[in-house]
Amino acid sequence: MIFDPFYLLVIGTGMALSFYASSITKSRFRKYSQYTTRSGLTGAEIAQGILSDNNIRHVRVERVSGELTDHYDPRSKTLRLSESVHDSNSMAAFGVAAHEVGHAIQHAKSYSMLSFRSSWVPVANMGGGLSMIVIMLAFILGGAQSATGSSLSWLGVLLFGCTTLFTLITLPVEFDASSRALASLKSGNYVTDKELDGARKVLNAAAMTYVAAFVTSLITLLYWMFRLGLLGGRRD
């Protein structure tokens, strides 16, 4: 267990997936940030427009520092857009701004998966913080080969599974936000078909980061189940 090449393979695969997804997202964002849109509206103006189109009056739009730090905060009902989105009239800015508004629309319409994800955050955080401690104790006590070790093994993978479930829940939430974003851009006549295609490509690339996070978490969970002897027998 001190040195496990299989573990390095699992971690390496996860890191490679995450790096690839992140690289594609940044590359697409930078590429389509160079193409300005016909309307000349900024990301902030697009966000305000789509919010208004959906009769959402209580969400503030704010500028934040950093690159791709855009997010919607349901607690304060605040849409925070990075400078490269808030002040830009590019295809990339349109896509990202509209995507974050998609989350605000989900919140306003009480989208069940968004509510579920929000309620699951503390559970996922607790699972992520405790899982490795419990898993290491399970190894010390023999994993699935002893009664106590077996109980701790299942507890450890259950805790880790809470974070895996969170990454799974995130997928439909993000895909739905992007779908709402593209539909809003089109129905509001904010973009041409070509501009909409550019925004779609940026959002598709961003979606890969969430897929990579889920796959990484899942293969890591399966690895620990395998090492603890919960899958395929004990592995010393």
Q: Which of 45, 83, 100, 174 is catalytic?
A: 100
Note if 83 is an active site residue. no
The 3 state secondary structure assigned to the chain is: CCCCHHHHHHHHHHHHHHHHHHHHHHHHHHHHCCCECCCCCCHHHHHHHHHHHCCCCCCEEEEECCCCCCEEECCCCEEEEEHHHHCCCEHHHHHHHHHHHHHHHHHHCCCHHHHHHHHHHHHHHHHHHHHHHHHHHHHHCCHHHCHHHHHHHHHHHHHHHHHHHHHHHHHHHHHHHHHHHHHHHHHCCCCCHHHHHHHHHHHHHHHHHHHHHHHHHHHHHHHHHHHCCCCCCCCC
Known catalytic residues are 100
